[in-house]
């Protein structure tokens, strides 16, 4: 029997009600694999967003009054339900944005993992006693408190992971939330809301409104929203911060990247090639924030690495995303494909690098699908657009360096700073580079950015600020109150 390709009816989830219509009208959901319309998505207008925020505000006092152990218990139940439904959540992730089934299942499992992890934190959020009368001082201590209503804005590439990294820690800390996923990815989060209800999380604690920029802006500006957690691009982040500035509202920003992968001659070149190409081409067709889209290779092994990369790219396969042998997916929209092809075209016409593979639209894919060939440029000029600006598509730039200093200078030359990758067996070099690379995380010899759920993730520069994952990701949703008693 083939895989079920039907999509669920989509709703706005406000205060425990599932509403089939929103005041923002509807939009057709298009499957990027075929370009065919799969269903209609109801959009929230500002009035729906306001109702969702009010529902979250109304639910807050009772949710805050749950004991930490009760909150842990309900989140453990949610994790169990997510684990039981990984197959369905993975299937819907494919139908959301055309990702391969393997990646869809992986992202659903990751959400389950974060849910278990943060469930465990729910009853371990503690304050400190800082001074005591025995020291001839006031009794003083800190009290961790939730913010209240948190506004959470997601992008379309991996909404389930963002739920695990944002929504769950916000709940564990005692906040209520209004989540606005992208209208491009309505299905997996629709299913999640069923699980939220089934777990026994009270009505109004988790509200979900699909919508575009106007719904996002209404959420950010709402005076009852106490904090914003955003995943998306730097351009939108600037608008969000401008809105937050009016009421001095805090925000966590998880933005894009142009991450460098530094390869020294003593590295395992086959492993580097496999991991780098898998990450840039097989993970959401390059639509991942932390992908190593700049491969910086020492001149002594550059030609060898370039050859290996091109050979690997030639072995990649397009096809039905549910077919396990398919490893490249389409990009999310027609507009995204045109934008990516535009960047490839400019790099070619400006001669800022040599085209080694790809560069266009592949043969043998559905005519309506939004496919871009895995594309590799060699000897890319470090200051060119293709080496400086996030493509968010299946495009890899190879750059040559001759010294460690030059590699660091190139790696640090963009305005982003999400991840940096290093490949060398020289521990002294590892220690120097982890200090010198300007990035929120440095990952050595093939370690991925998410190593367990304990390691925080986030950026510097225009990759944003604040952290997700680990204890740091929890503390983003906790306000510290100081108490002193004379
Ligand atoms: P985007 O910034 O266009 O949109 C993201 C979300 O913001 C969407 O839900 C959108 O509706 C909403 N939005 C748009 N305008 C808004 C406004 N004025 N006010 C409030 N909300 C608004 O981003 P995108 O193009 O959908 O996503 C791609 C970007 O996301 C890339 O830069 C990528 O690197 C980044 N990303 C980062 C991470 C991370 O964790 N660092 C993870 C995934 C994606």
Token pair 């991942």: residue: 288
CA distance 445 to 423: 5
> Residue range 343-363: average pLDDT?
97
Helices 68-84 + 101-121 axis angle, to 10: 160
Tokens 């657009």 sit at which residue? Answer: 385
pLDDT given for residue 1 in this prediction: 56
Where does residue 204 fall: left (phi above 0), alpha (psi -120 to 50 degrees), or beta otherwise?
left
56-65, 215-224, 358-367, 379-388: which has the minimum mean pLDDT? 358-367
* 139-195 tens-digit pLDDT: 999 999 999 999 999 999 999 999 999 999 999 999 999 999 999 999 999 999 999
In eight-state DSSP terms, residue 142 is E
The residue whose CB lies within 8 Å of the most ligand 1 atoms, and thus the one to mutate among 214, 232, 252, 293, is 232
- If you average pLDDT over residues 116-123, what whole number do you get? 98
Q: How far is the CA of 145 from the centre of ligand 1 (A)?
A: 28
User: What would the mean pLDDT of 69-83 be, rounded to a whole number?
Assistant: 98
What percent of the chain has pLDDT above 70?
100
Q: How many CB atoms lie within 10 A of CB 119?
A: 22
By the 8 A CB rule, do 10 and 210 touch?
yes
Query: Which residues, in sequence order, are CB contacts of 10 under 8 Å at separation 6+?
Result: 29, 39, 40, 41, 42, 186, 187, 190, 210
Angle between helices 86-97 and 68-84 (to 10 degrees): 70
For residue 26, report the distance from its CA to the centre of ligand 1, in Å.
Answer: 20
Q: Give per-residue pLDDT as tens, 20-44.
A: 999 999 999 999 999 999 999 999 9
Tell me the CA–centroid distance for residue 236 and ligand 1, in Å: 6
The residue whose C-alpha atom lies closest to atom 42 belonging to ligand 1 is 289
Give the integer Cα–Cα distance in Å for 396 and 285: 11
SS3 at position 26? strand
Strand partners of residue 445: none
Residue 2 has pLDDT above 90, yes or no: no
Secondary structure E strands in 82-223: 129-131, 139-146, 149-153, 176-180, 206-208
**What pLDDT score does 205 carry?**
99
- What residue's CA is closest to ligand 1, atom 12? 213
Distance CA 142, CA 130 (A): 8
What distance in Å separates the CA atoms of residue 232 and residue 284, rounded to the nearest whole number? Answer: 15
Model confidence band, residue 238 (pLDDT cutoffs 50, 70, 90): very high
Residue 421 bridge partners (DSSP): 261, 443
Q: Which atom of ligand 1 is nearest to the CA of 180?
A: 9
pLDDT at 451: 83
Specify the DSSP element, H or E, that contains 52. helix 46-65
Q: What is the pLDDT of residues 323-332, one digit of tens each?
A: 999 999 999 9
Task: Tell me the CA distances in angstroms from 442 to 107, 401, 412, 465, one per residue in order.
Answer: 22, 19, 12, 16
């Amino acid at each position: 029997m083939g895989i079920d390709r039907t999509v669920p009816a989509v709703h706005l989830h406000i205060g425990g009600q599932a509403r089939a219509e929103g005041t923002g009208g509807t939009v057709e959901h298009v499957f990027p694999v075929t370009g065919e319309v799969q269903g209609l998505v109801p959009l929230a207008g500002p009035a729906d967003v306001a109702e969702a925020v009010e529902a979250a505000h109304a639910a807050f006092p009772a949710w805050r009054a749950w004991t930490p152990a009760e909150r842990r218990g309900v989140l453990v139940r949610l994790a169990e339900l997510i684990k039981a439904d990984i197959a369905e959540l993975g299937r819907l992730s494919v139908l959301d944005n055309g990702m391969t089934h393997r990646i869809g299942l992986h992202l659903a499992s990751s959400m389950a993992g974060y849910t278990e992890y943060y469930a465990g934190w729910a009853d371990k959020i503690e304050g400190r006693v800082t001074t005591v009368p025995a020291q001839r001082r006031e009794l003083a201590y800190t009290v961790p408190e939730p913010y209240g209503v948190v506004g959470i804005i997601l992008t379309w590439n991996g909404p389930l992971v963002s739920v695990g990294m944002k929504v769950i820690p916000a709940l564990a800390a005692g906040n209520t939330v209004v989540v606005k996923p992208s209208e491009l990815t309505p299905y997996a989060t629709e299913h999640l809301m069923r699980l939220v209800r089934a777990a026994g999380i009270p009505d109004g604690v988790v509200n979900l409104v699909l919508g575009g920029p106007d719904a996002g802006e209404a959420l950010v500006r709402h005076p009852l929203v106490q904090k914003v957690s955003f995943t998306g691009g730097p351009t939108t982040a600037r608008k969000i911060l401008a809105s937050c500035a009016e009421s001095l509202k805090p925000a966590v920003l998880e933005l894009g990247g142009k991450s460098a992968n530094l390869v020294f001659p003593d590295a395992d070149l086959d492993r580097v090639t496999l991991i780098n190409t898998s990450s840039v081409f097989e993970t959401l067709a390059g639509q991942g924030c932390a992908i190593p889209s700049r491969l910086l290779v020492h001149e002594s092994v550059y030609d060898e690495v370039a050859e290996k990369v091109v050979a690997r790219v030639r072995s990649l396969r397009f096809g039905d995303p549910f077919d396990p042998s398919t490893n490249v997916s389409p990009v999310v929209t027609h507009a995204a494909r045109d934008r990516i092809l535009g960047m490839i075209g400019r790099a070619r016409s400006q001669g800022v690098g040599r085209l080694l593979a790809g560069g266009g639209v592949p043969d043998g894919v559905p005519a309506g699908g939004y496919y871009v060939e895995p594309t590799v440029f060699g000897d890319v000029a470090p200051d060119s657009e293709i080496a400086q600006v996030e493509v968010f598509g299946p495009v890899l730039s190879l750059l040559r360096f001759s010294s460690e200093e030059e590699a660091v200078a190139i790696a640090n030359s963009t305005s982003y700073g999400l991840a940096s990758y290093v490949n060398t067996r020289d521990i002294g070099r590892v220690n120097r580079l982890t200090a010198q690379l300007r990035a929120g995380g440095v990952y050595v010899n093939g370690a991925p950015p998410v190593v367990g759920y304990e390691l925080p993730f986030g950026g510097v520069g225009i990759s944003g600020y604040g952290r997700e994952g680990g204890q740091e990701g929890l503390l983003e949703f906790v306000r510290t109150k100081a108490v002193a008693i004379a």
